[in-house]
Amino acid sequence: MEKRCWLKNGLNSNQLKLAAIIAMTIDHLVCVIFPGYPKQWWIICLHIIGRLTAPIMWFMIAEGYHYTRNLKKYISRLFLFAVISHFAYNFAFGIPFIPFQTSVFNQTSVIWSLAWAVVAIALTDPERVGLKGWKQTLVLIIICVMTFCSDWSCIAVMAIIGIYYNRGNLKKQVQSMMCWVAMYAAVYFLFIDKVYGIMQLGVIICVPFMMNYNGQRGKWKGMKWFFYLYYPAHLVVCGIIRVILHGNIGVMIGG
């Protein structure tokens, strides 16, 4: 990967994941404490900080695919994580565990899309399955349909694919990612909330973090498992806070 760090030693993957964890926690706590789509400037600012989470997760998934030594275990782990996180995510925001009872949006966590994104890369990777032409198009359409209902929808899948296949070229990675995010923002703007639709474009704040990625994992090998545990655990805490403050009601689209 080309060197593009502004910081002396750059940021390793552990540090990027920690930034994502902090931003995610802020975003989710604000969601359950201040339900719906409030327009106070400081709440919007906190949610914009939360926009840092998704692109870092996408970036790390693409890096994870590149570095994994056992693709089958990587995919299996993500799908297991997706199943566990489904219940934690839906409990956090008051969304029924059985999908499509209230909406087609936000019916499960973004982990569902992350897992399918790795499958999509593997199926289109010339060094793996390497599907081409209509077969590749058909597979991507099927995966997009299957992930449409999750947090960040199929946009997460396509953004990860763009990030992976432009690996080493930050400009193209960002351009590809922002094109897909713009589509997500447009859908949010038209069908959910105009202000929060525009807010989705705040993912651009991830650029300095991506620019300073040094390609290293970091000394602590336990970060991967910490994230796998922290993600559903913090969502359960968010769900408890939601019930205490507001009762068993949905606090966002999908609930």
The per-residue pLDDT for range 126-158, each reduced to its tens digit, is 999 999 999 999 999 999 999 999 999 999 999
Cα distance between residue 97 and residue 93, in whole Å: 11
pLDDT digits (tens, 9 = 90+) for 75-120: 999 999 999 999 999 999 999 999 999 999 999 999 999 999 999 9
Confidence of residue 2 (pLDDT cuts 50, 70, 90): very low
Specify if 106 maps to a domain.
Answer: yes
Radius of gyration over every alpha carbon of the chain, rounded to an integer in angstroms: 18
Residue spans of beta strands (DSSP E) within the chain: none
Specify if 7 maps to a domain.
Answer: no
Counting the structural domains of the chain, the total is 1
Put simply, whether the predicted model's pTM sits higher than 0.75 gets the answer: yes
Specify if 229 maps to a domain.
Answer: yes
Q: Which of 207, 150, 226, 255 is nearest to 6 (CA)?
A: 207
DSSP 3-state of 11 = strand
> Average pLDDT in the 157-177 region?
97
Specify if 211 maps to a domain.
Answer: yes
Specify if 68 maps to a domain.
Answer: yes
Specify if 254 maps to a domain.
Answer: no
State which residues form the domain around 128: 13-246
Percent of the chain with pLDDT over 90: 92
What pLDDT, on a 0 to 100 scale, did the predictor assign at position 1? 41
Specify if 214 maps to a domain.
Answer: yes
Specify if 122 maps to a domain.
Answer: yes
DSSP 3-state of 150 = strand
Is the model's pLDDT at 171 over the cut of 70?
yes
What pLDDT, on a 0 to 100 scale, did the predictor assign at position 236? 98
Torsion, Cα 85 101 142 140, to 10 degrees, reads -60
